[in-house]
RNA sequence: GCGAGCGUAGCUCAGCUGGUUAGAGCACCGGAUUGUGAUUCCGGGGGUCGUGGGUUCAAGUCCCAUCGCUCGCCCCA
């Protein structure tokens, strides 16, 4: 019985939901193309090492969320938990560093082994964009702008907030990290259990702890801004000015840190309070150290990803069902004519449904349920004269149309 | 991995302090209606009451375990 259920955290995507996914993916691809991004696809699994190296051994994704297995050849394989690592690997293995800068858009399933809840699943879908090979802060501005426009195109604007922060360059970040470790170590025993673990693994994470015993300690923790060198400060200023130029509203959140180790400089998150505990809708940042860390050349990168399921819960206007035209043979002797007519009309590009069961009333009802926009009745005396009855199902008006000019007459129902 | 709530038809649910053969609405299928969407009427298919064990003369109902779902923690899209 158990095998007849989908694996925990996975779902079948039926047409209604699939239309929504497609709308979101297509909208993302379309908006990204205006920025010059082209759609790509990388494998949904990689050698586990690809993710281990890029995500950092200390990240939660690697320590407990990777969906991993060994294949028949004994290779350790992991279903991708996110998209950037695969793109970085592609850059290296495809020798694409010769062709920088590169702008890639992708969409597809991602996998994380964790307890499902609202807006979080073991197999979920993301769309994302990566801009590789541009070290200037203009790239950060463009990527945030792209994210904002994708959300705007999906009409996801209510209760949406953009938060940004800077993690500085590698040197600044390392210096701040040291300072944080030093500071929190002094008060180690006062920290929450979770934060004590963070102190060893990912001290920056303590800053956005929700535990109340951490609060006052966080209040008095050293400010990141004090550890930013001039280059890092300048970089962040340019990003902020760019957002202001574009009238993209944002707030700086010094507590905003990324869970993944390879980020530097800009980190940003579009959040909503409409999804319960999962507020993050679209998030990303700069990852200048990633490609090099994987063993490639030093290549700058800025990217973001958005969860399609989460976006779907925020899209107000659901995509419409495509409306077919129904062909209804009046009696079964007209079945052959019906199937032939359907074939011809489909060849001309129309969406046709054939009704071959039940009486007229039943067939019309079924056409109605399929939200058909029109019905074509084939049979009777008008057919012998070479005509078909075409009924507009919205207005209820009906007229006789010569069979030979059906295609022309139905042109009005073309999308 | 941890915590809480919930599992009865495809969906929403009823089923009393345990007591005949487990019900309703919606949906679906057929008929009234062999050339027209509504309404109405009649009929029909559908359930191992999540699963397993226990208590009992008797369990959908009580107890235990287990699986699943949902929400939250951690973390993240």
Distance in angstroms (rounded) separating the CA atoms of residues A373 and A347: 19
We find that the CATH architecture of domain A325-413 is 3-Layer(aba) Sandwich (3.40)
Distances (CA, A) of A149 to A33, A131, A146, A189: 12, 16, 5, 46
Which positions on chain B have an atom < 7 Å from some protein CB? 1-3, 28-38, 48, 50-51, 67-77
Q: What is the pLDDT, as a whole number, of residue A299? A: 93
Contact (Cβ atoms closer than 8 angstroms) between residue A82 and residue A305: yes
Contact (Cβ atoms closer than 8 angstroms) between residue A20 and residue A314: no
Q: What is the pLDDT, as a whole number, of residue A263? A: 80
Nearest to A40 by CA among A82, A88, A85, A87: A87
Report the distance from CA of residue A311 to the C1' of nucleotide B71 in Å, as an integer: 19
- Spatial CB neighbours of A372, under 8 Å, sequence gap ≥ 6: A323, A324, A325, A326, A353, A393
ipTM over 0.85: no
Q: Which of the nucleotides lies closest to A117 (Cα–C1')? A: B71
Q: What is the pLDDT, as a whole number, of residue A60? A: 63
Q: What is the pLDDT, as a whole number, of residue A58? A: 59
Report the distance from CA of residue A341 to the C1' of nucleotide B45 in Å, as an integer: 35
Report the distance from CA of residue A1 to the C1' of nucleotide B59 in Å, as an integer: 23
Report the distance from CA of residue A396 to the C1' of nucleotide B31 in Å, as an integer: 26
User: Looking at the C1' of nucleotide B66, which residue has the nearest alpha carbon?
Assistant: A2
Contact (Cβ atoms closer than 8 angstroms) between residue A76 and residue A10: no
Distance in angstroms (rounded) separating the CA atoms of residues A194 and A370: 53
The residue count for chain A: 415
Contact (Cβ atoms closer than 8 angstroms) between residue A258 and residue A163: no
Report the distance from CA of residue A374 to the C1' of nucleotide B41 in Å, as an integer: 30
Report the distance from CA of residue A8 to the C1' of nucleotide B69 in Å, as an integer: 9
pLDDT tens for A247-256 read: 999 999 888 8
Classify domain A2-169+229-314 at the CATH superfamily level.
Bira Bifunctional Protein; Domain 2 (3.30.930.10)
Q: What is the pLDDT, as a whole number, of residue A139? A: 96
Q: Which of the nucleotides lies closest to A64 (Cα–C1')? A: B1
Ordered by start, the domain boundaries in chain A are: 2-169+229-314, 325-413
Contact (Cβ atoms closer than 8 angstroms) between residue A267 and residue A287: no
Report the distance from CA of residue A92 to the C1' of nucleotide B72 in Å, as an integer: 41
Q: Which of the nucleotides lies closest to A305 (Cα–C1')? A: B77
A293-308 exposure pattern, b = at least 16 Cβ within 10 A, e = fewer = bbebeebbbbbbbbbb
Side-chain-facing half-sphere of A373: CA atoms under 13 Å? 14
Contact (Cβ atoms closer than 8 angstroms) between residue A284 and residue A303: yes
Segments of chain A scoring below 70 in pLDDT: 1-4, 55-63, 210-212, 259-261, 415
User: Looking at the C1' of nucleotide B73, which residue has the nearest alpha carbon?
Assistant: A277
pLDDT tens for A259-303 read: 566 788 999 999 988 777 778 999 999 999 889 888 899 999 999
User: Looking at the C1' of nucleotide B2, which residue has the nearest alpha carbon?
Assistant: A115
Tell me which H or E stretch contains A400: strand A398-402
Q: Which of the nucleotides lies closest to A379 (Cα–C1')? A: B35
């Amino acid at each position: 019985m158990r095998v007849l259920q989908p694996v925990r955290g996975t779902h079948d995507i039926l047409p209604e939901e699939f239309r929504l996914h497609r709308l979101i993916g297509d909208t993302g691809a379309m908006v990204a193309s205006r920025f010059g991004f082209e759609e790509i696809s990388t494998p949904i699994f990689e050698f586990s090492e690809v993710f281990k190296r890029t995500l950092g051994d200390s990240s939660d994704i690697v320590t407990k969320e990777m969906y991993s297995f060994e294949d028949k050849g004994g290779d350790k394989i992991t279903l991708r938990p996110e998209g950037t690592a695969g793109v970085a690997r592609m850059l290296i293995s495809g020798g694409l560093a010769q062709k920088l800068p590169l702008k890639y858009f992708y969409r597809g399933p991602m996998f994380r082994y964790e307890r499902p809840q609202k807006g979080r699943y073991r197999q979920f879908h993301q769309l994302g964009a990566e801009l590789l090979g541009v070290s200037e802060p203009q790239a950060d501005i463009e990527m945030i702008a792209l994210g904002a426009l994708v959300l705007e195109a999906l009409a996801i604007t209510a209760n949406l907030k953009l938060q940004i922060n800077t993690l500085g360059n590698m040197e600044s970040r390392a210096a701040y990290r040291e300072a944080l470790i030093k500071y929190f170590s002094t008060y180690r025993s006062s920290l929450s259990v979770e934060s004590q673990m963070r102190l060893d693994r990912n001290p920056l994470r303590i800053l956005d702890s929700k535990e109340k015993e951490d609060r006052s300690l966080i209040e008095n923790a050293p400010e990141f801004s004090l550890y930013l060198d001039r280059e890092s400060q300048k970089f962040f200023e340019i990003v902020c000015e760019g957002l202001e130029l574009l009238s993209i509203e944002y707030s700086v959140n010094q507590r905003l840190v990324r869970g993944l180790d390879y980020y530097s400089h800009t980190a940003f998150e579009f959040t909503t309070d409409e999804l319960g505990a999962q507020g993050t809708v679209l998030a990303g940042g700069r990852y200048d150290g990633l490609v090099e860390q994987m063993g490639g050349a030093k290549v700058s990168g800025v990217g973001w990803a958005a969860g399609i399921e989460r976006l779907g819960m925020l899209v107000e206007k659901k995509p419409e069902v495509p409306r077919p035209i129904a062909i209804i043979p009046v009696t079964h002797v007209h079945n052959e004519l019906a199937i032939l007519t359907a074939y011809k009309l489909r060849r001309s590009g129309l969406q046709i449904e054939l009704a071959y069961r039940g009486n007229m009333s039943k067939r019309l009802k079924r056409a109605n349920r399929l939200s058909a926009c029109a019905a074509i009745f084939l049979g009777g005396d008008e057919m012998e004269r070479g005509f078909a009855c075409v009924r507009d199902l919205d207005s209820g008006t009906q007229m006789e149309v010569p069979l030979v000019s059906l295609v022309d007459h139905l042109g009005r129902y073309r999308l």
